[in-house]
Structure 1
Amino acid sequence: MGKVNYYYSSVTGNLEMKKQQQRIEMILDSKKIDYERIDIAADDGAKAKMRELVGDPKALPPQICNGDQYCGDFEKFEAAVESEELEAFLKLC
């Protein structure tokens, strides 16, 4: 089992993206899920890696992976939270 990697951007003028990123962090923190924040704004290699894992050369953060396994974007994360399947979504079980 890998570690949850959370790809985000510290530099965004997009308010919706900021809200999504804050919500993901709030939920992961509240559930005490260990994760690594990876800032694609600070590291071009991280952006390339995120897009490679997602399989979309235009993918934007936030995106969530477990090791090298792609879990999903904010919409899929939110759906997993709503259906109480977050651990399965994050590939933790």
Structure 2
Amino acid sequence: MSITVYYTSVSGSREVKQHQSEIFQFLDSKKIKYFAVDISASADVKEEMRKKAGNPSAMPPQVFNGDKYCGDYQKFFDAVEDGKPGAFFKL
């Protein structure tokens, strides 16, 4: 199991920063190890994230467990609301 969160360190959007923060805080609070990959580091990384998500316009945060796509912030939020965050992260 290896959770990867694609995020951006240079988003001008307060909403994106908030969404990223919520996912990181959740993972930290549950002591779930993860890799944070900053897509602002290179266009190649952004393309990799979009290809893996199967969405040419996907925006961060995007979450994966190994090669399995977990979803974006909205799917994370819905899973937490439903009390099923473990299912979202495919744990």
Aligned amino acid, residue 7 of structure 2: Y
Question: What stretches of structure 2 of length at least 5 have no aligned partner?
Answer: none
Over the residues paired in the alignment, what is the CA RMSD in angstroms? 1.0
Task: Measure the CA separation in 1 of the matches of 2:36 and 2:43.
Answer: 15
Matched letter for residue 52 of structure 1 = K
- Which residue of 2 is the match for residue 62 of structure 1? 61
Distance 2:69 2:35 in 1: 14
Pairing 1:3–2:2 present? yes
Q: Which has the higher helix share?
A: 2
TM-score by length of 1: 0.92
1:37 Cα shift? 0.2
1:39 and 2:35 correspond: no
SS of equivalent to 1:70: strand
What residue is the counterpart of 2:15 in the other structure?
16
1:84 offset after TM fit, Å?
1.8
Q: Percent identity?
A: 48
